[in-house]
Amino acid sequence: MATHAVLEGIRLWPHTLRARLFIILLAGLTIAHAMSFTVLFSERYIAARSVMFNTLENDIATSIAILDRIPAAERSAWLGQLARSSYRFVLGPGLPGNPVLGAEDAEVASRIRAAIGAKYPIEVESIPAVGRHLQAHLRLSDGESLTIDVTPRGVMPVADWLPYVLIAQLLLLVLCSWTAMRLAIRPLANLASAADTLDPNSNAPRLSETGPTEVAYAATAFNAMRDRIAQYLEERVQILAAISHDLQTPITRMKLRAEMAEDSADKDKLVQDLDEVERLVKEGVAYARSAHGKKEKASRIDLASFIESLAYDYQDTGKSVTIGGLSDGAIVTRPHALRRILTNLVDNALKFAGSAEIEVHRQEGTVLIRVLDRGPGIPDDQLQAVLQPFFRLEQSRSRDTGGTGLGLAIAQQLVTAIGATLTLRNRDGGGLAAEIALSQ
């Protein structure tokens, strides 16, 4: 049972840091406010109680002295003037009651006795009624009966507007607590968002380094980390580009020497290997250059004409590339980067399916360009992995099909550079769909 209660408490406890801090701060402020109100209320209660009893003693003693000294015929006229909100005087024996008094009623009775003194023997009884009701019976000097009818009220009545003030204070506490939590958590949320979308090669704005000392320090450290990562990536790309570029010259010399050699089966294999190495080097240079895709300036192009030109270039070389649905209109993008992306996707489709189809659609401010094929597709658990550099599907790529594992990686890198997204999915009935989403 105890374990179940603990687990139930964990489930009820909010999962967000903002909600947890909000509850803690609000609970602390509410308890502190309640304690302050309790202390003030208690102090006011004690003060009001003291004033009430002192007033009760003085007024009753004075009133009885007045009634005792004036003629009996004039006493009834004075009763209304001597009456107060919590007690009044009645000529006569009054009502029968219960001489056994509660603690609070006994205190009132002792105060009345202390005020009257021993000159007037007095009996105090509790009268059965709704609320507290006491009557003190005594006789004046001339023997006439006098009853003090007491209806004690709360020593500190609550004003009608007080509940509204308390509600307003509680709402103010909630508002201030929530505002404080937003101000405190916002830098942390911004830092988490920046870390989640971290891309050293993007032109995203740097994290603001203003605000409290701790927040500014964390933002400065994050920006410095981003700069270091960008520098490391830049160095790696430069190394890859340098090695790939430097390898082209010796590979070319090796191919020339191999072609000058006598014809043989080993010569053909050597030339084939050199062609594959040369292709790998060229793809490495292309991948390194794709990291700098943002350096190309964006321009306005007619998308329909752009897609038709690309498809016609393939058709002129005898490749089966067709155009499906084609949406008219112009877009602003980096045309060379977009052409390289589509070329890599179409080449991939031709390599594994023998044909490709290009479609263009517009949807709620987004341009969707799809390259479709009816090839073997890609296993669902590897749709993201194939976008990584040098990843190859062993079951579909071999020395016969070629491939360096960089075609889709280059496309993915250039897609990020132009501010788009690339999504791969398997088509119903077989084949692959590569979708580029461009926001306009």
pLDDT bucket at 2, cuts 50 / 70 / 90: low
Q: Provide the pairing of β-strand 299-302 with 134-139.
A: unpaired
Q: What is the pTM of this model?
A: 0.49
pLDDT at 396 over 60: no
pLDDT digits (tens, 9 = 90+) for 74-102: 888 888 888 887 788 888 888 888 887 87
Q: 156 is written with which tokens?
A: 């500190």
Torsion of CA 218, 220, 225, 230, to 10 degrees: 140
- Which of 435, 412, 437 shows the shortest CA–CA distance to 424? 435
Q: Which range among 211-215, 315-319, 323-327 has the greatest average pLDDT? A: 315-319
As a whole number of angstroms, the longest Cα–Cα distance in the chain is 156
pLDDT digits (tens, 9 = 90+) for 257-291: 777 777 777 777 887 877 777 777 777 666 666 66
Q: pLDDT at position 52, please?
A: 67
pLDDT digits (tens, 9 = 90+) for 290-308: 665 556 788 899 988 999 9
Q: pLDDT at position 83, please?
A: 83
pLDDT at 392 over 80: no
Q: pLDDT at position 8, please?
A: 55
Contacts of 274-277 with C-beta under 8 Å, sequence gap 24+, read 276/399, 276/402, 277/247, 277/251
Q: pLDDT at position 107, please?
A: 77
pLDDT at 175 over 90: no
- The CATH number assigned to the domain with range 294-439 reads 3.30.565.10
For the chain, the domains span 197-291, 294-439
CATH assignment of 197-291, among 2.40.30, 2.40.160, 3.40.50, 1.10.287 = 1.10.287
